Amino acid sequence: MAKVQNPYFPQEAEILEVIEETPTIKTFVLRSQEPIPFKAGQFMELTVPQLGEAPFTPSSSPHKPERMEITILRTGTVTDALHQMKAGQLVGLRGPFGKGYPVQKFYGKEVLVVGGGVGLAPLRSLLYTLFHNIDKFKRVSIKYGARQPEELCFQREFEKWGKLEGADMDVTIDVPAPGWTGKVGLVTTLLDDLDLDLKSCYVVSCGPDVMLKFVTLKLLDVGFRPEQIYLSMNRNMSCGVGKCGHCVVGRYFLCKDGPDMNYADVMDVPGLFG
């Protein structure tokens, strides 16, 4: 008898390593029984045994599925429990779910990547994908912000990213902090004088709902069209396969049609940003 796929069953995965990114963010390096191929932007449902699961987008390169990294902000029941876990312990994985970023659409174009806080985690997977074929894109421009310097994720990689041929990176923190010599201000301030060809550019943004809202307004203000903007949206999720209803944004299921949505498709949805 053919084995029936059970989309709700969590596959076992071992925590290989836990990397502390910031006081509230950790990266979990996972190895499942079989490597799980995924595309940048697709997400996983991660189970803490006996407790429950929550959705997360891998932050690692899709080219290394045997070593999946998931970067997690501590914020509630499941994530608190995860932050207590150590290398060698077991978690569950379902997925990948969703469509992932429309990377091929970005070929030959400039790609503006705007992240806030832990929102850089899903975007890192995209960045690795873009960097893997950097010649295919006109330019990759990264704008990233967090509240304080110690809340900046993946700082160890910033220098490398900024120096890549065809890429540039700009970082800001919300309010001045001792020892910080970089830019200060909300991430939207990095969008003021963009040195980009607005006609041939796509924007991808991920972060808290309020940030997404103000980034979107700013982008529209500086001349982007809704069709050029992709937002990694957030909703409560349960099934991941378009059945349970939780993740609806208008007629779309974030888990199937997203989680990154073209702004033109969702701009009329009431309460889009909560």
Partner 1 sequence: MKVLKTNREKFELFLEKIVGDGVLYANVEDEEGQIHFEKLLLDQLSRVTLGKARALETSKAFFFTPRTKVAEYPSSSAQEITATKMTVLGLKACGLRALQILDRVFMDDITDPFYQARRKNSTIITCDCTEPWETCFCTEMGHLPYPESGFDLNISVSNGQILVEVGTKKGDALVAEHSGLFADADKTLLQQREAKRKATVQRVKKINERFGISVPYQKQVKEYLDSPAWKKQGLAYSCVECGACTHVCPTCRCFLLFDQKKGDHAERAMVWDVCFYPGYWRMAGKLTPKPRLLDRFQNRFSCKFDYFVDNYEAIACTGCGRCIEACMGKIDIRQCLSEIQKLEKSPA
Q: How far is the CB of 144 from ligand FAD (least distance, A)?
A: 15
> Residues 120, 208: contact at Cβ < 8 Å?
no
Question: Does 59 participate in binding partner 1 (rule CB under 8 A)?
Answer: no
Q: How far is the CB of 91 from ligand FAD (least distance, A)?
A: 13
Question: Does 110 participate in binding partner 1 (rule CB under 8 A)?
Answer: no
Distance between CA atoms of residues 223 and 187, nearest Å: 17
Question: Does 47 participate in binding partner 1 (rule CB under 8 A)?
Answer: yes
The binding track of 233-272 with respect to partner 1, each residue x by CB under 8 A or -, is -xxx-xx-xxxxxx-xxxx------------------xxx
> Residues 112, 204: contact at Cβ < 8 Å?
yes
Closer residue to ligand FAD, CB minimum distance, 111 or 237: 237
| Residue at token pair 């800001």 | 172
Say if strands 260-262 and 229-232 run parallel, antiparallel, or are unpaired: antiparallel
Distance between CA atoms of residues 249 and 261, nearest Å: 10
Closer residue to ligand FES, CB minimum distance, 116 or 259: 259
200 is in the binding site of which of ligand FAD, partner 1, ligand FES, none (Cβ under 5 to 8 A by kind)? none
Say if strands 90-97 and 43-48 run parallel, antiparallel, or are unpaired: antiparallel
Q: Name the strand (E) or helix (H) holding 108.
A: none
- 241, 245, 250, 256: CA torsion to nearest 10: 0
Question: Does 72 participate in binding ligand FAD (rule CB under 6 A)?
Answer: yes
Applying CB under 8 A, among 17, 49, 85, 109 the residue interacting with partner 1 is 49
List residues near partner 1 by CB under 8 A.
3-10, 12, 33, 47, 49-53, 73, 75-76, 79, 90, 92, 208-209, 234-236, 238-239, 241-246, 248-251, 270-274
